[in-house]
Amino acid sequence: MKPIIYITQKLPDEAVAELQQSYEVRMWHDDQTSAPKEEIVKQVKEAHALWAMLSNQIDNEVFEAAPKLKIVANLAVGYNNIDLDAARKHGVMVTNTPEVLTEATADLTFALLLATARRIIEAEKSVRSGDWKSWSPMGMAGQQVGGATLGIIGMGRIGEAVARRGQGFGMNILYHNRTRRSLEDVKYAGLDELLQQSDFVVILTPLTEETRGMIGERELSLMKNTACLINVARGGIVDEQALYEALKSEKIWGAGLDVFEQEPVPLDHPLLSLPNVTVLPHIGSAAIQTRLSMMALNAEAIHSCLEGRSVKNRVC
C-alpha cells in the first residue's frame, strides 16, 4: 500500500499533483476552512505524513492518535501551533517554510503601515458611503510616513526587508532584537527606547513564552500619542484589551493588525469598533507566487521524509 498523506485544507491541484503520483493523498474538502480537530485526529490514525495549516493545533492528542506519522509539514514560517515537545516524544519531525515569504510579508507590512498612517480604508469607505461631501483642509488627515522613525521589534529576514522599505521612504530605523545585528543605517535600541522614539512600531518577532504579552499597558503607555502600532507577527504578542484602551483613550494614534489572538477575530471584538484600527485577515504572505512556493517546500519535505532522504527546513 502507498504511504498516506493527510492535508488539513484543500490546496490547489498543482501543489499536490506530484505527491499524488507516489502516495495516497487525502485532503479536507474545503479551501476556505481547515479540518476540525476531531477530523484530524481521525485521519492521522493511518497517515504517514500530515500537511498542516497555521490554524491547526497539532498537539499531543494528535500525535497519540498517529502511530505511523513521520512528519508534520506546517504551511507557515511560524510553528507555535505545533507542540514540538510532543513531536519529539513521538519521533515525528516538523518542518516549516522559511525564506520564501520574506518579501511578500514585508510588502504587506509596509502596505498596512501606509494604510493605517494615511487612513486609506476609512477614506475609501467615506467615498463609497457618500460621506465625502467636499475637499477639506484637514479631511482624512493622517500621519506622515516619509522621514518618520520606524521601530522594528524582531529583526530577522522580514525585519530587514521592512527596514529596506523604510529606508526608501527616508525613515530613521530603530530595531530591538534578542541579539544585536551588524546592519547598515539601522540602530539598535532597548525596547523602552524604541517605543518612546518611534512613530511607527512594527512587530515581527515570533510568538514564544518570552514574547507572549510583550506589548501591554506599560509598553503602550511609552509610545507617542501620534504613534501607530503595526502587528503582522502573532496576536498573542499584544495585550488586545490594553491596545483597545490605548486607542480608545487616544494614548496612541492608530493600529494596523493582520493578526489576532483568536482567528478569525470575533465580530464583536472591541478593536473592530474603533475607527483608528485597520484590520486584515492574516494575509502577510498571501501573494500567489509566495503561497505556491511555500506549498512546494512542504511537498518537498514530505517527499524527502517518506523516501528516507535528508529533509530541509526542519524545526525538530
* Enzyme catalytic residues: 234, 263, 282
Task: Supply φ then ψ for residue 4, to 5 degrees.
Answer: -105, 130
Longest dimension (CA), the chain: 72
H or E segment to which residue 93 belongs: strand 93-95
Length of the chain, in residues: 316
CA distances from 165 to 99, 100, 183 (A): 17, 18, 14
* Residue 288 cell numbers, joined: 500567489
Of 21, 60, 20, the C-alpha closest to 44 is 60
Of 162, 278, 169, the C-alpha closest to 229 is 278
Q: Can you tell me the distance from the alpha carbon of 136 to that of 134, in angstroms, rounded to the nearest whole number?
A: 6
